[in-house]
Amino acid sequence: MRQTKIIFDLDDTLYVDKELRHQRNNTILKFLGERSLDFIRLKKYYTTLNSLRKLGVSREKFYDLMDDVEINLEEDIKLIKLFESLRGRYQLIVLSNSSKQCVEITLNKLGIFNLIDEIYCGEDFKEPKPFEDCFFMIRQGDFCVGNNFEKDLKIPQERGAITILVGNEDGQANYVINNIYELEEVLNSELNNL
């Protein structure tokens, strides 16, 4: 029997750190200099990577910039306990547009790197999420968890995954939770509905 997967986005899903987001954004703006206002305008309509691409900045340069930003996250005991509880019952996958280096450092700092079954990063795909190929591992009945419906959950939902939005209500995801720690309540609710 196939093990059900839970596919997690990383940034602003498994952790929220406004200071790290601010530092990353400042690094981009400093690099762009006079083109910063163009980037800010583009970000209203496109992902960070696509906004930078429209300004002629490659994905590789973006990864270089982000890899230079220090990740000051701390071990998250509550998150570790959640993942220990899920491990074995589900196949745990992280799917992020970030570089492999950023993803691995982040998961290690949070204390869950060794609890993840598979990791897919930006370098693994021709295009970033929401590019359809990024979601190749998702099957009907899997769970997909993210903080952005269009980028993280729309295609998984079309493939029959149960979608869980972390953050604001959007009316499109199957479930909405305030933070990742509420995930087990949703999973238990789904089991009770079977």
Question: Which of 29, 50, 49, 56 lies closest to 40, judged by CA?
Answer: 29
- What CA–CA distance (Å, rounded) separates 91 from 169? 26
CA atoms within 13 A on the CB side of 117: 17
Question: What are the residue ranges spanned by the domains of the chain?
Answer: 5-15+74-193, 18-67
Class of domain 5-15+74-193: alpha beta
Helix (H, G, I), strand (E, B) or coil at 166: strand
Backbone region of residue 179 per phi and psi (left: phi > 0; alpha: psi in -120 to 50; beta: other values): beta
**Measured between alpha carbons, how far is 69 from 24 in angstroms, rounded to an integer?**
6
For the ranges 42-51, 72-81, 176-185, the lowest mean pLDDT is seen at 42-51
**Residue range 2-34, pLDDT digits in tens:** 689 999 999 999 999 999 999 999 999 999 999
R_g over Cα of the chain:
17
Q: What is the pLDDT of residue 1?
A: 58
**Tens digits of per-residue pLDDT, 124-159?**
999 889 889 999 999 999 999 999 999 999 999 999
Please provide residue 8's backbone torsions phi and psi, each rounded to the nearest 5 degrees: -110, 135
